[in-house]
Structure 1
Amino acid sequence: MWRNYLTVGVRALMKNRTYAVINILGLAIGMAACLMILLFVRYEFSYDKWLPDAANTYQVQSWYKPETSTGSDPELQMTPYVTGAALQKDFPQIESWVYAMGSAPVLQRDGGVETLEDFLYTSGDLLQVLQLPLVRGSADALKAPGSAAVTRSEALRRYGTDDVLGRSFTVVSRGQTRDFRINAVLADLPKNSHLKLNTVARIDINEYFADQPEALNCWGCQSGWIWVRLKPGTDPAAIEAQLPAWEKRNIPDQTAGEARFNMGDQQDWHLVNVRDVHLGTGQGGAMTPGNDRATIVTFAVIALLILGMAIVNFTNLATARASQRAREVALRKVLGATRRQLILQFIGEAVLISAIAMVIALAMVELLMPPLAAFLDADIPVRYLGEGGILLPVLGLMLAVGVLSGLYPAFFLSRFQPAAVLKANKSAAEAAGTGLLRSVLVVGQFAVSIALIICTGVVYAQTVYARTADPGYQRDHILQVEEMSRRQAYGKGETIVAQTARLPGVKAVGRTGIGVATFNNSNTGLLVPGRPDPVTIGNYGVDIGFKDAMGLQLVAGRWFDGREMDDMTVPYPTPEAAHLALVARGANIVINALAAKKLGYATPQEAIGKTLRAGLVEDQYGLVPVTIIGVVKDSRFRSVRESIDPLLFFKTREGSMTHMIVRFEGDPARVRQGVEALWRKLVPDVPFAARFSDEIMLDLYKSEDARAKLFAGFAGLAVIVACLGLFGLAAFTAERRTREIGIRKVLGARTWDIVRLLVWQFSKPVVIANLIAWPVAWWVMRDWLNSFDARISLGPAPFVAAGALALLIAIGTIGAHAVRVARENPVNALRYE
């Protein structure tokens, strides 16, 4: 019986090659798209599941409350060092904890220097908490300060071999030289990890912060990550529920002058399992860029929609071709076939088509997955067997698609009555309602396609807007030089700036603690007369040249100049007398317009001359009286996803400045070469690192750009699948209506009239599809755009354009059939009548 079913199925495909190609190709594209998207979705949800004992390993995160944060991503993955010991003291369920800080120390090797990327300083035995896989060495490699572990690729890069146990290396950080001995070689971490490291070096944390001991007890200083390992069987939710009370017990009140505040009122602490960090809420201060869980779920839905469209194509064409198989069904029933046997036959044919389509789909996946993975910077292998193998899911998907696509046609075809079909040699058997069903399914297909086209257009427009919107400063022609905060450069900053300004093509130079997408946060509280609570403002050191170099615009008052009260420079290390002198003397500051508004001033001009007190020195020395001398236009230094920060600028000659801004004209490469040559001459022991503002902005919106391209790719696939179905229906309908068209032409219809008749029949569902797609796409895109602080307006343009494009595609798909059929000689259609 099954052999007979197979023979009949193959013959049916060979007899209707156009139908077979359209069905198989449509299903293959839908399956390939579905497999690729689902592989990507599985990869995103696989982060850090490879870590041993991941179920008991958690990251401690501190999330600022919105009203107390001025920086981007207030939900931080980082947390203060003091948190670790306080947690273990109160929660015996914590087996062990470790604190680690990201760093980029200078490596001294072979008489030269280089910056080490992805370098971690750790206060304890990291490998006991995060059980990273080892190539050489043992798990107790980081038992003592001065020990280190490197990844295999880093060992090969530095030494040309991974047999490096016992070797030593010397780095310079915070102005101090430190030696480390390599005790372990780590396996390279997979890309699906929230961790990013090449070297782990254990330090004596107290010695490291000997010049800043307050950093070890500061509850508002997030400069590193803490991971904890819970004892087996521990309920993390029970610990999380007790954290508010833990905050009250452990976090002391702080005073600055007569102001009193508590860091526990400004932030909350959370335990996040390492497997949930990548797609979690907290993404500020992450080692690797996280992703949005809603976005990943959206792509999974798109995968299922595209696959559903392919199944709809099969159903449409199968029911449309029902009349051609009606006599076959009738004869089988006359000869004794049961309805169950007929249902099994037609479902078997659908599974056969699904199997052929799956083979083609797997070939597409093999060809397209590597470039897609490279584009996403992800490691997404296509394996059929073993861990992560897709053979069973592929077989399941193939059977599911075959059954789902063949189920309705099978029940529909098997219900034909022999007497009605064979009466008067009747071969047509169009059941009532099937034409309406096909129209509904076509409307659904194009509604999905149009919605995806709209989303693609909106995402692309927002990405372009983000890169080109006015940030409040002159963003073009900027070279941003890093490494200014190196202790090796201390005391040389003014010399570097002065000599850089004399280079050909350089228009202005300035140093700053904030620049183009630097993401460093520094907040302080300002006490306004008459207000009991401090106002949180971002504060950053700058020099005189920063305004012109960055292109800031003054809206009131003046910028810093050489006056004594403008200067807040204190020597390093800072003696107590210098702090006290600054508190006694006071200083001038410049703020932005948003800060003026947040401080309670109706206009920028009203803020000029007002004296406040700011926490710009250590708390024990009191508040510094500061006078506002200028207000600049609000500037967006960060992503458009983040709100503009209220900012305070103070002038200093050294310290607290991380970048140098070089505004130039002319050849960018020549300017960069000149700045680099000067840097290597003045600061030879600090590697040169600089990027143009255009490069920074491209990198800043890389994820949005990738999302726009992915939407465009999958929208294109959806349109192709929809058009394949429309093409098949148009071909079949044109064939069925050949006699009708012949009669119309005999009665005087012109070719244009016939074309218009056929085109309108298939364009009407596309027009209706717009009415469904537009409100759905508007609702989805409205919510997505609301995640940006600055965004495009959601006007009618993308909706009208998507609808018009879909209509043109539909007309182009069926137009060729319409013209060919309309130009046929009616004699050929009517000669046997």
Structure 2
Amino acid sequence: MWRNYLTVAVNALAKNRAYSIINLLGLAIGMAACLLILVFIRYETSYDRWLPRGEDTYQFQTWMPNPRDGAPYMLQMSSYITAERLKKDFPQVEAVSYVLGGTPSILRQGQVSTAEDYLTADNDFLAVVDLPILRGSKNALNAPDTAVLTRSEAIRQFGTDDVVGRTLSLIQKGKTYDYRVNAVLQDLPKNSHLRINAVVRRDFGSYFTQEPEFLTCWQCQSGWVYARLKPGTDAAALNAQLPAWEKRNIPDENLAGTRYNAGDDTDWALVPVADVHLGVAQAGSMAPGNDHRSIVTFAIIAVLILLMAVVNFTNLATARAGQRAREVALRKVLGATRRQLIVQFVGESLLIAAIAVAIALALGELLVRPFAAFLGADLRFSYFGADGMLWPALALMLIVGVAGGLYPAFFLSRFQPASVLKANKSSTETPGTGMLRNMLVVAQFAISIGLIICTAIVYGQTVYARSVDPGYQRDHLLQVGNMSRYQLIGRGEQIAERMKRVPGVVAVGRTDIGVATQNTNTTGVLVPGNPQPVALGRYRVDHDFRDAMGLQLVAGRWFDPARPMDDQTLSFPEDPAEVRALVARGANVVVNEYAARKLGAADPAAALGKTFRMALGEQYGDVPITVVGVVRDSRFRSVREPLEPIVFIGSREGPSTMVIRYDGDPAAVRAAVEREWRAAASDVPFEGKFSEAIIEDLYDAEEKRAQIFAGFAVLAVVIACLGLFGLAAFTAERRTKEIGIRKVLGARTIDIVRLLVWQFSRPVLIANLIAWPVAWWAMRDWLNGFDTRMALTPVPFFLAGGVALGIAVVTIAGHAFKVARANPIRALRYE
């Protein structure tokens, strides 16, 4: 019996080649897309699950979900003091480590270079984060002035991975430290939130001798805190105790005579390392993270594309099923039961699904590498093991085979042999199946149109983000980092003056907030009449920053180096007498329009002369601040981040970034600037990048998302058109006699084409009415994630509908034209 079923199934496929090819292609494309997305989802959810004892390893994060003023801010970093107090107050914590980021300079054979992804940690780091050791031991950081390198970094620096016992020289905070390499780590896989080339051991107490406040500051989040909990510890119960822990530990501060406590607006949380990559905190991360919404979106797309392939299968099976009416009738006359017929036709469906799965696996093998390269992920297409694709592929085959074949099987098996054989019918059509097929076509094109709309809006928002006016002149700007290195303290003005003499340089300014810099400095200020602190961004700039960045002054004036109150330059380390003098005389600042509004000004001009107090700490008191100028709001960061209210503080020294406005050949200007830099600061690596490149990197993830949406939208349209072409072919074949009669009665070719095209265009038009509101709701929600966004106009919706309708018409029209031109004699000859 089973052999007979297999023979009949193979013969049916061979007899209807067009049907078989369309079905197999549609199913294979849908399954391949589904499997590739599954590989990606598995990869995204596998982050840091490879870490030994990862279930007991946590990152201590700083969350500000409901600040009294300003936008929510979820940070992966935490302050140094939290590590100390966490270990002291909770016996459930086995070990805690504080890790400091940064880019020290590597000193080798008299040459300096930038050290990327070098972490400075205490001696417990490897005891908390159990990284894989290739050479050496877990105790590698127990002694002072020791280091561990990854295998790749060891080869990069020394030409070999056999480096245990060698010396690595780094320039940190202006001093040269020699580290003994005690271990070599295996290169960390890409599916980790950790980005590490080396870890060096320092004693933070002595490391921050000149900045002792760093060790006790609860609001100085500049590093990461990792904790290893004792086995069996309930992390949720520990997190529930943290609010009380904050109250016990965080002291009150005096802000202009008003009590202020950092714990009032800030929460802390222990987050499993496996949840960091997809967690709520993405700011202050070592590596770019992702969010659950993106993963869910990809999963939904995979299901939709697979659903479209199943719809194709069901549509074509029901359309073709009527042609097998005589076969079913004869089988029933010869004694076949309905159950046997259902088993036969479901078996045929499973056979097609099995062949499609084989093709899909081959496509997956071919496409996984370019897909991984495009995403920058380490995707693997294996068949066995925990991440193997064999079981998902078999499950896919069963689900698709049964789901796609069940309805056609029940539909075919209910034919009555008497009615079929009495009328000598070779084909039949059960009432209602045409409506079902139309509904399924509507569903297919609704999905396709929805994906096209999403693609258009995501792409449009990406273009908008790149082109929206940022409030400053973004072009012809070269941004140079490393200005805050200790070696350059007191030399900032001198270096800037040298850069001004470079041919092609128009203006040179220094700042703490350049184009898409990562540093954020928010402070609370007290405004007269407002008992609550107002959160403002506080950034140092020099008097040339406005011209270099191209800021637009809308009221008042910019900083004047001839006015003492315009300059808040302090020596390093700070001289108490100098600070007291600053507090006594006060300071002038320039604010942006948003900050002016937060200070209570109805318009920019009304902000001039406004005063407020800004704290310099318990030791010095508060500085009286006066607003002397207002500049236009500028968006220095991504459009996803809220616009920041900014207070610009004049300072001749200290800003961490230099911005250079230039004319002429960009490459020539950069080369000349680099030469001047090396001549003036040979002990600090040059880091210069054009603003265009910075913006491109900033929106790279958004652009890739748009391209992925476009790719899946194309797949959806291809699958829908394959099904539509198959349906058109079978419909035209079934209506051959009707078309012949119409032509005999005088119908023109164009009339026949119009008739067939209209029949299949109606479902596409109806699909628009379904897809448009769903896509509008989804994209409105997505666009709300941007602080600045494009307008949601009807253009993408009409564009998507027109594209889908045009593709459908082209798909049908060619076949319809061929059928309409056929000689009617051939259609009517057997009559």
**Band of TM-score, shorter chain:** over 0.9
Contact in 1 for aligned 2:740/2:827 (Cα 8 Å): yes
Q: How many residues align?
A: 830
Contact in 1 for aligned 2:48/2:273 (Cα 8 Å): yes
Which residue matches 1:603? 603
C-alpha deviation, 1:145, in angstroms: 2.3
**1:801 maps to amino acid:** L
CA distance in 1, matches of 2:685, 2:236: 46
**Helix, strand or coil at the partner of 1:178:** strand
Alignment deviations for residues 713-757 of structure 1 (CA, whole Å, 9 cap, x no partner): 001000000000000000111111111001001111111110000
Contact in 1 for aligned 2:256/2:613 (Cα 8 Å): no
**Helix, strand or coil at the partner of 1:244:** helix
C-alpha deviation, 1:127, in angstroms: 1.1
CA distance in 1, matches of 2:743, 2:222: 81
Contact in 2 for aligned 1:259/1:534 (Cα 8 Å): no
CA distance in 2, matches of 1:730, 1:426: 22
**1:122 maps to amino acid:** A
**Helix, strand or coil at the partner of 2:380:** coil
Which residue matches 1:460? 459
CA distance in 1, matches of 2:454, 2:201: 48
Contact in 2 for aligned 1:70/1:523 (Cα 8 Å): no
Asked whether 1:54 is paired with 2:17, we answer: no
CA distance in 2, matches of 1:91, 1:573: 35
The CA RMSD over aligned residues, in Å, is 1.2
Decide which of 775, 778, 782 is 2:776's aligned counterpart.
Answer: 778
C-alpha deviation, 1:346, in angstroms: 0.9
**2:167 maps to amino acid:** S
Which residue matches 1:64? 64
Once the two structures are superposed, the pairs formed by residues 563-642 of structure 1 within 5 Å of their partners are 563-615=563-615, 617-642=616-641
Which residue matches 1:547? 546
**Helix, strand or coil at the partner of 2:101:** strand
**1:559 maps to amino acid:** W
CA distance in 2, matches of 1:36, 1:710: 12
Which residue matches 1:335? 334
Asked whether 1:12 is paired with 2:12, we answer: yes
Cα distance change of structure 1 residues 70 and 516 upon mapping to structure 2, 3 Å threshold? farther
Alignment deviations for residues 236-280 of structure 1 (CA, whole Å, 9 cap, x no partner): 111111111111111110124413200001211111111111111
C-alpha deviation, 1:70, in angstroms: 5.6
CA distance in 2, matches of 1:577, 1:68: 34
Contact in 2 for aligned 1:590/1:648 (Cα 8 Å): yes
C-alpha deviation, 1:69, in angstroms: 6.8
**1:653 maps to amino acid:** R
Contact in 1 for aligned 2:325/2:425 (Cα 8 Å): no
CA distance in 2, matches of 1:151, 1:567: 45
Which residue matches 1:34? 34
C-alpha deviation, 1:66, in angstroms: 4.8
C-alpha deviation, 1:36, in angstroms: 0.5
CA distance in 2, matches of 1:556, 1:123: 49
Which residue matches 1:735? 733
Alignment deviations for residues 29-68 of structure 1 (CA, whole Å, 9 cap, x no partner): 0000000011111111111111111111111111124545
Query: Which deviates more from structure 2 when the two are superposed, residues 632-641 or residues 405-414?
Result: 405-414
Which residue matches 1:788? 786
Which residue matches 2:719? 721
**Helix, strand or coil at the partner of 1:500:** helix
C-alpha deviation, 1:134, in angstroms: 1.1
Which residue matches 1:344? 343
Which residue matches 2:643? 644
Alignment deviations for residues 277-323 of structure 1 (CA, whole Å, 9 cap, x no partner): 11111111011111120111011011011011101111101110112
Alignment deviations for residues 150-198 of structure 1 (CA, whole Å, 9 cap, x no partner): 1111111111111111111111111122111111111111111111110
CA distance in 2, matches of 1:359, 1:339: 30
Which residue matches 1:829? 827
Asked whether 1:282 is paired with 2:278, we answer: no
Which residue matches 1:165? 164
**1:591 maps to amino acid:** V
CA distance in 2, matches of 1:66, 1:387: 40
Alignment deviations for residues 47-106 of structure 1 (CA, whole Å, 9 cap, x no partner): 1111111111111111124545768x7100001111112122222111111110111000
CA distance in 1, matches of 2:208, 2:373: 41
CA distance in 2, matches of 1:70, 1:572: 31
Which residue matches 2:448? 449
**2:807 maps to amino acid:** I
Which residue matches 1:807? 805
Decide which of 697, 700, 703 is 2:701's aligned counterpart.
Answer: 703
Which residue matches 2:177? 178
Alignment deviations for residues 484-541 of structure 1 (CA, whole Å, 9 cap, x no partner): 1111122221122112112121111100000100021112222222333332211111
**Helix, strand or coil at the partner of 1:385:** coil
Once the two structures are superposed, the pairs formed by residues 473-492 of structure 1 within 5 Å of their partners are 473-492=472-491
Query: Which deviates more from structure 2 when the two are superposed, residues 353-362 or residues 549-558?
Result: 353-362
**Helix, strand or coil at the partner of 1:290:** coil
Query: Which deviates more from structure 2 when the two are superposed, residues 138-147 or residues 434-443?
Result: 138-147
Query: Which deviates more from structure 2 when the two are superposed, residues 201-210 or residues 498-507?
Result: 498-507
CA distance in 2, matches of 1:498, 1:728: 73
**1:352 maps to amino acid:** L
Q: Which runs of 5+ in 2 are unaligned?
A: none
Contact in 2 for aligned 1:99/1:124 (Cα 8 Å): no
CA distance in 2, matches of 1:218, 1:821: 81
Once the two structures are superposed, the pairs formed by residues 667-686 of structure 1 within 5 Å of their partners are 667-686=665-684
**1:185 maps to amino acid:** V
Query: Which deviates more from structure 2 when the two are superposed, residues 109-118 or residues 139-148?
Result: 139-148
Alignment deviations for residues 109-140 of structure 1 (CA, whole Å, 9 cap, x no partner): 02200010001001232111111111111111
CA distance in 2, matches of 1:776, 1:257: 52
Once the two structures are superposed, the pairs formed by residues 235-634 of structure 1 within 5 Å of their partners are 235-562=234-561, 563-615=563-615, 617-634=616-633
Contact in 1 for aligned 2:69/2:533 (Cα 8 Å): no
**Helix, strand or coil at the partner of 2:619:** helix
Cα distance change of structure 1 residues 24 and 65 upon mapping to structure 2, 3 Å threshold? closer
Contact in 2 for aligned 1:351/1:403 (Cα 8 Å): yes
CA distance in 1, matches of 2:620, 2:59: 34
Contact in 1 for aligned 2:597/2:603 (Cα 8 Å): yes
CA distance in 2, matches of 1:781, 1:56: 39
**Helix, strand or coil at the partner of 2:241:** helix
CA distance in 1, matches of 2:270, 2:448: 41
Contact in 2 for aligned 1:508/1:549 (Cα 8 Å): yes
Contact in 2 for aligned 1:81/1:99 (Cα 8 Å): yes
Contact in 1 for aligned 2:639/2:789 (Cα 8 Å): yes
**Helix, strand or coil at the partner of 1:619:** coil
Decide which of 737, 760, 763 is 1:762's aligned counterpart.
Answer: 760
CA distance in 1, matches of 2:68, 2:673: 39
Decide which of 745, 748, 751 is 1:747's aligned counterpart.
Answer: 745
Contact in 2 for aligned 1:322/1:413 (Cα 8 Å): yes
Which residue matches 1:77? 76
CA distance in 2, matches of 1:742, 1:386: 59
CA distance in 2, matches of 1:426, 1:103: 80
**1:629 maps to amino acid:** V
Alignment deviations for residues 798-824 of structure 1 (CA, whole Å, 9 cap, x no partner): 000000000000000011011011111
C-alpha deviation, 1:212, in angstroms: 0.7
**Helix, strand or coil at the partner of 1:816:** helix
Which residue matches 2:95? 96
**Helix, strand or coil at the partner of 2:13:** helix
**Helix, strand or coil at the partner of 2:423:** helix
Alignment deviations for residues 766-803 of structure 1 (CA, whole Å, 9 cap, x no partner): 00000000000000000000000100111100000000
**1:671 maps to amino acid:** V
CA distance in 1, matches of 2:173, 2:675: 24
Query: Which deviates more from structure 2 when the two are superposed, residues 767-776 or residues 570-579?
Result: 570-579
Contact in 1 for aligned 2:29/2:715 (Cα 8 Å): yes
Contact in 2 for aligned 1:70/1:538 (Cα 8 Å): no
**Helix, strand or coil at the partner of 1:49:** coil
Query: Which deviates more from structure 2 when the two are superposed, residues 489-498 or residues 760-769?
Result: 489-498
CA distance in 1, matches of 2:498, 2:100: 34
**2:555 maps to amino acid:** A
Contact in 2 for aligned 1:478/1:661 (Cα 8 Å): yes
CA distance in 2, matches of 1:469, 1:694: 13
C-alpha deviation, 1:144, in angstroms: 2.4
Contact in 2 for aligned 1:742/1:827 (Cα 8 Å): yes
